[in-house]
C-alpha cells in the first residue's frame, strides 16, 4: 500500500461544483481506498492504495463524474513528489501564501514560458510536472494569462502543499 495525495480541480470555488469532503471521503472508501482523510474544503485528499497514480486518477475521475454528473480533474502525487515540489520552490523568500504551484499530470513543456502572458509583477518558473508562480500583489489581483496547455492543472499555495506533504509523510 502506498500513500497518495489527490488534488481535485475546481471544486468548492465560486459555488459552481460543490462536493462535500465527507461525500468525497465516502466515495473513496467505497472504491477501496484506505485511511482516507481530507484537508480543507478545496479538494485535498490523503489515502492509501496499491494502485498506480495513473489508475487512481482515472478511477477517481470516473467515480466523481458518476456521483456528481460533472467532469472533475484530478492530480495525484506521492509524499515524495510533494516533498520535492516544496523543496524546489524557487521563491523561498516570498510570502508562502503568495506562491502558487500549478500541479499538472503531464511533464511541463520546456518552452512553456513563451506561452504565458504576464502583464503584472508575477514571476513564473516551470518545474517537472508543476509551475511555480510568485504573486507579489496577491493571486486575486493577478492578470496572468495561462497557456491552454496547462488548463487541466490545479493550483495550491506552498503553505497547503507543505502541510499536505507532512500529513502524507505520516502515512
- Distances in Å between the Cα of 59 and the Cα atoms of 62, 71, 81 are 5, 12, 20
Residues 95 and 27 in one domain: no
In angstroms, the CA 155 to CA 134 distance is 12
Q: 163 pLDDT band (50/70/90 cuts)?
A: very high
Q: Of the residues 77, 92, 108, which one is the last residue of a structural domain?
A: 77
Residues 87 and 49 in one domain: no
The β-bridge partners of 79 are none
What is the tens place of the pLDDT at every residue in 27-40? Answer: 888 888 999 998 87
Provide the CATH number for the domain around residue 31.
3.30.70.1280
How do beta strands 154-157 and 99-103 pair?
antiparallel
What per-residue confidence (pLDDT) applies to 113?
94
Residues 119 and 155 in one domain: yes
Cell representation of residue 145: 494569462
Confidence (pTM):
0.91
- Average pLDDT, rounded, for the chain: 90
Closest CA to 91 of 47, 130, 132: 132
In angstroms, the CA 161 to CA 120 distance is 25
Q: 17 pLDDT band (50/70/90 cuts)?
A: low
Domain that holds residue 159: 80-169
Closest CA to 20 of 8, 32, 31, 30: 8
In angstroms, the CA 167 to CA 170 distance is 5
Q: 15 pLDDT band (50/70/90 cuts)?
A: low
Classify the phi-psi angles of 69: left when phi > 0, otherwise alpha if psi is within -120 to 50, otherwise beta. Answer: left
Amino acid at each position: 500500500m502506498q500513500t497518495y495525495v489527490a488534488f481535485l480541480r475546481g471544486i468548492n470555488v465560486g459555488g459552481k461544483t460543490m462536493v462535500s469532503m465527507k461525500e468525497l471521503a465516502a466515495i473513496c472508501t467505497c472504491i477501496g481506498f484506505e485511511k482516507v482523510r481530507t484537508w480543507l474544503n478545496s479538494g485535498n485528499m490523503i489515502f492509501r492504495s496499491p494502485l498506480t497514480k495513473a489508475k487512481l486518477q482515472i478511477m477517481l475521475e470516473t467515480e466523481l463524474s458518476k456521483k456528481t454528473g460533472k467532469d472533475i480533474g484530478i492530480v495525484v502525487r506521492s509524499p515524495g513528489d510533494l516533498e520535492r515540489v516544496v523543496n524546489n520552490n524557487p521563491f523561498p523568500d516570498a510570502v508562502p501564501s503568495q506562491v502558487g504551484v500549478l500541479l499538472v499530470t503531464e511533464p511541463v513543456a520546456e518552452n512553456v514560458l513563451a506561452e504565458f502572458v504576464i502583464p503584472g509583477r508575477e514571476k513564473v518558473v516551470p518545474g517537472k510536472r508543476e509551475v511555480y508562480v510568485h504573486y507579489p500583489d496577491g493571486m486575486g489581483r493577478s492578470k496572468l494569462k495561462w497557456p491552454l496547455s496547462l488548463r487541466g492543472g490545479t493550483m495550491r499555495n506552498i503553505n497547503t502543499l507543505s502541510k499536505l506533504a507532512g500529513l502524507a509523510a505520516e502515512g
